[in-house]
Amino acid sequence: MIVVLSKGITSHDKELVRIYLRDRGFAVRDQQFGEDEVIGASGKGVTDLRELALLPGVERVAATSKPYELASRETRAEDSIVTVGGTGTGVPQVKIGGSRITVIAGPCAVESREQIRETAERVRESGAVLLRGGAYKPRSSPYAFQGLGMKGLEYMKEAGETCGMPIVTEVVSPEFVVDMKDLTDMFQIGARNMQNFELLKKVGALGKPVLLKRGPSATIEEWLLSAEYLLAAGTRDVVLCERGIRTFETYTRNTLDISAIPVVKGLSHLPVIVDPSHAVGIRAKVSSAALAAIAAGADGLTVEVHPHPDDALSDGPQSLYPEQFEKLMRDIEALAPVVGKELLRTPHTAAAEKTITPVNASAISINTGIAFNGESGAFAEQALMRVFGEEAKRTQVQSFKGIFDAVLEGSAAAGIVPVENSLTGSIHENYDLFLRYPDIAIVGEVKLRIVHCLIGDERATLDSIAIVRSHPQGFAQCREFLDKHPLWVLEASNDTAGAVVSIAREGAVKVAAIAGEAAARAHGLKVIKEGIETNPLNYTRFLVISRKAAADDNFDRIAVNGGSFGSERSNKASLVFSVPDKPGSLFACLQIMADQGINLSKLESRPIQGKPWEYQFYADVSIPEKDGGFAAAMENLKKHTEDFHFLGAYRGSL
């Protein structure tokens, strides 16, 4: 049992809590859980938790049935998100956990200043957000390369700061901890040291983030107890790393325990990542194991990458070539929406400081808020968190037009707008809004998998339901399920989460809502049936919008700098145009783009408001890497169209 004490508790009240627990048969110990002061109570004592919680100076009580109390989900129900880097470190802040997939990459060992710098540049270019590498290397053979020591760590720190990446490196002995603490952003406890308890206590006391690898023969409970050592010593930020266990199988280096991922995530609130490189030890198998880990629910990966693996001084056979790592990152980006996550990308410097640099606009603090339509738990809010993180300030509005108004007026720094569903098609209202708000630009994109649930009061059952509420899109996407219940009355709502809110407010037992599981959690209702959408390949595409200061015809500059939510060059743009009413006019426009290698991924016609029987075209196009080609095509299009609107350039999601 854990007793969390209030911040201002007096020494007298703290002693009263200790006496209360001892008198009831508990063994008592003082602990520090990050910034929280706690008292741990173990043994066969008996008490009324409600009475204990009322004692002066007690903030809350968490009863646990596990020996790893601080790591247990019984102590903290919500997932922990670990922050690495950021304020005062000279590198961007990176989050591990939540709705993002975080990828750490780098060589097994730092071999030279040039090697770690080249590796950092290559993995960052492909999308890694933290740099890994060993300055001290525990090796089975005393004659193997042991690392460059502190000099290697200095090289790694320099490479991380140059490339804008926090670094994580292994500490092998308690005597090195103090010297290393200012040079690394995150300590790694290696598999061999998982139960080096003196090292765990020394590292945990510093309060820095820690990556804890599972020992080759450790049970899950032993692994979590090692995490408990770190938490009890003082750090709040622990990331668990599954790296394979030793079994009778000899074909791979270790056996990757995929089942450990969902098991540990059920037992503990700590983020779980996977090291596929050490798990399999064979370069050709690393990517497959990595994707399997993501599919099983891992919060991220740590992958060994070397610019010249055949010449590596340590673990060359399991290190990916940079080209292989780039392909793996693209595969992860494609897989992420299926498991309800988004691949975390290294932000620009401005983004690292909690700012956005929209098309043709000054940096705007996202602390102003991000606008979305709907109630808490809406799919739009989930998309928002994928782009900006769980900690982003949110501004709720009551209509799609309200999102554009909030961004234009400055009450929101950006907005998230749904524009297309893979099953029901385009949301034309939102496409039309771009023409009504010429000072708004598209600066990002995210695709969210939509899993619908039937949600109701705790007392509700399928048999008790008479009325179902949802957005009309929700009804359309669940038509097959609804057809099985023809007597249900369907009531349309402004948004899916709003339907859930109405039930929570009314306490209705005969009314259910179609919405996402997040809405049920947010408003204290239960999921009666999960996955009721007709087609599991149900995705909604959201666009991130922000304000632009004025029109800008420098299309090359926009193409390079337009997308502000990742480290990579914009690869996609959206435009609207109309053409003269004569044969071949649309073909001429398409030919202009084809001549410059611009791929057309979407073309849709819409009536021009106020002009009956006249139409305009919405187009999504690729931005080729060839310099000048995109700008030339856009300028040429303006000459061959009657009306031309450049909506924005951004990094398209897969």
Q: Can you name the residues that pair with 639 across neighbouring β-strands?
A: none
Between CA 441 and CA 266 the distance in angstroms is 41
End-to-end CA distance of the chain: 46
To the query of whether residue 75 is one of the catalytic residues in this protein, the response is no
Between CA 262 and CA 270 the distance in angstroms is 12
Catalytic annotation, pick one of 540, 555, 577, 646: 540
Nearest to 448 by CA among 560, 511, 537, 562: 537
**Hey, what are 76's tokens?**
């903290």
Q: Is the dihedral of CA 86, 92, 96, 97 positive or negative?
A: positive
Characterize 10-31 residue by residue with b for buried, 16 or more Cβ atoms within 10 angstroms of its Cβ, and e for exposed. eeeebebbbebbeeeebebeeb
Nearest to 86 by CA among 343, 351, 319: 351
Phi, psi (deg, nearest 5) at residue 453: -130, 150
Catalytic annotation, pick one of 325, 542, 617, 644: 542
Please return the burial class of 389, using the count of CB atoms within 10 Å of its CB with bins 0-12, 13-18 and 19+: middle
Between CA 564 and CA 443 the distance in angstroms is 6
To the query of whether residue 542 is one of the catalytic residues in this protein, the response is yes
User: Three-class SS string for 323-353?
Assistant: HHHHHHHHHHHHHHHHHCCEECCCCCHHHHC
Helix (H) and strand (E) counts for the chain?
Answer: 22, 32
Between CA 280 and CA 212 the distance in angstroms is 19
DSSP state of 80: P
Cα of 383 vs its chain's centroid, Å:
10
**Hey, what are 89's tokens?**
């470190």
Q: Residue written as tokens 């109570």?
A: 41
> How big is the chain by its Cα radius of gyration, in Å?
27
Between CA 287 and CA 319 the distance in angstroms is 11
**Measured torsion, CA atoms of residues 268, 270, 271, 276, in degrees rounded to the nearest 10:** -70
Contacts of 363 (CB under 8 A, 6+ apart): 350, 355, 356, 357
Please return the burial class of 467, using the count of CB atoms within 10 Å of its CB with bins 0-12, 13-18 and 19+: middle
Helix axis angle, 260-267 to 220-233, nearest 10°: 40
Q: Residue written as tokens 């308890």?
A: 197
Q: Would you please indicate which residues are annotated as catalytic (active-site) residues?
A: 540, 542
